[in-house]
Each structure stands twice: as structure tokens, then as C-alpha cells.
Structure 1
């Protein structure tokens, strides 16, 4: 009887792992993230840093809070990711002149140049992924992942 219950529990745990959305998403994110990190390595940027610079290149300036919302990252993690970019002179992070509690993030000319130098590496790995996975499936994946952001959870709400 106990052995039977243990088998049922073990099967239940396996089923939970096999159907865990979070685990599946994180596995794929680590796999794809490492692929993009490897492709961008010659530029000295990690994929997350590239994404931050890319987003900042479309904004004149923005607050840490706004940038965190744009890339779906909590403010503390974003601030941690901005530190090496600021040390290298790729971004500036300064107090807002209108609200001393807010920090304004701006991409520098060096940051823009580094992002542009990384763009061909990003384009190459992007094209390789789409060739392997399928361009339509990749577009569908991006759309589905974007839909995840509209599920109503408040992961960073205080």
C-alpha cells in the first residue's frame, strides 16, 4: 500500500514538472539566452545588456521605472543590469531634475555605437533561430509570449 502511494506521488511530481509553464519557459529562456549571449560575446555585451541598449536607443531618455516596465523587469534587477553599462560609459543614470527620487537613464554615444556594432551579431543569431525554428512559428512564439504579459499577474507590485 505504501509503495503504491509512493508511486502515485512520484508520478504526480513528474506530471507537475512536465506541465509546469514556468519551468518550460525558463528552460527555453536559458537556452535561447545563452545562444544570444554567445553570439554577442565579441561585442562585450550580454543579451540583456543589448536589449536594454536597444530599447534606450529608441527613447531620448527614460526613468528606470519606465524602462523596467517597457522590458518587463523589476526595478532592482534593472538597476543591477545598468551598473556595468554605466561603468563602461554606455549609459548615464542621473537623478531626475523634477523628481529627485526618480533616476533618468540615457544611452550615450558610446552605448549607441556598441549597440550598433552588436546589431549584426544579433541579426545573425535571430536569422539562424528563425531558420531553424521557422519564421512563422517564431512570430507566433513572440505573440504568445507577449500575450503572457496580459494575464493580469502583478509580479512586481509592492
Structure 2
């Protein structure tokens, strides 16, 4: 406590300021912090579920999105730029995340047919097989989360998260 010698009024004022500061801090609501804590908790639970196949939830998401984008593009693998944009991450973060998947023979980078400087991410047969195995473990964790939250709350959580991740939300936030 900050005491001011010989001045009990000043000591009282310092105490009052500390109480008001603590009350203001306690009333502060931070959506970002709440979402980060929730994401960290869920990420850890999914990571534990995926441990038997040696993948992290982020890696399964990366493999899944790579596959999803290829299917949506008639079997043509996504470019690294398109994949990074879809995942809302920097290209440097994507290439960093791909390194262990490439090292382990789960993903290959192939040059684009028209522009050899552009790279496309392709799952290898081993990557496809491991993804199929991982999806079983992921499904178990996902069902458990739904059981605990309830189907309606889980659906609402996904809907809100999808909206926050959307360009529509960004545009509204920026006032465009």
C-alpha cells in the first residue's frame, strides 16, 4: 500500500483509487481473451485425442483444408497463397506449418503447371491415409465436445466463430 506519511486523507484517496481501478478491471470484458482461452482449451483436447496418430489438431485442419480445396477445385491442389488466405494466416506461417508434414512425407509441394514459381500443396498417399485415421480420433473428440456443450450451443459457437472469421465481419468491424 502506498502510504503518504502524516496524511490520512491522501492514504484514503490512494486506497479508493486502487479499489476503483480493481472494480473497473473486474468489469472489463474481453472477447478476444475469452475466445483465445476457449480455443486453447479445445485445441489441447483435440491434440490429446489426435496424439495416437502423431498429429496436432492444427495439422489435421491443414491436411483437411488442403484436401477440401483440392476437391472443390476439381482435384487441382491449392496454391500456398490460396491455402494461406483460406486459413487466414501469413504465407510464412503456412510454410512453417507445412515443414514437418513435408518432412514426414505427408505433403508434397509441387510447382504449378503454368507458373513454376507458384507452389501447390498435395497430400501424399501416406498423408491421405493418416488423415483418414486422424479423422476417426478427431470425430471422437468432436462428439464429446458436442455432448458436453449440447448440440445447440456447439452449433451456435461454430456459427459465431465462422462469422467472426468471415470477411463480412471484418468489413462490418472496419465500418466498410
- Same topology, TM > 0.5: yes
Higher-RCO chain (CA-CA 8 Å, sequence separation at least 6): 1
Could you tell me which residue of structure 2 aligns to residue 156 of structure 1? none
| 1:14–1:103 Cα change, 3 Å | farther
Residue of 134, 151, 158 corresponding to 2:169:
151
Is 2:133 the partner of 1:117?
yes
TM-score (norm: length of structure 2): 0.80
Cα RMSD (Å): 1.5
Is 2:23 the partner of 1:5?
no
Give the length in aligned residue pairs. 151
Is 2:104 the partner of 1:94?
no
Aligned ranges for residues 123-138 of structure 1 at < 5 Å?
A: 123-138=139-154
Measured in 1, the distance between the counterparts of 2:16 and 2:113 equals 67
Aligned ranges for residues 37-76 of structure 1 at < 5 Å?
A: 37-58=47-68, 59=70, 60=75, 61-76=77-92
1:91-126 per-residue CA deviation (whole Å, 9 max, x = no partner) reads 012343433543211111110000001111111111
Show structure 1 runs of 5+ residues with no match: 154-158
Measured in 2, the distance between the counterparts of 1:72 and 1:32 equals 19
- Runs of 4+ in structure 1 over 4 Å off: none
Task: Work out which of the two has the higher radius of gyration on C-alpha atoms and give 1 or 2.
Answer: 2
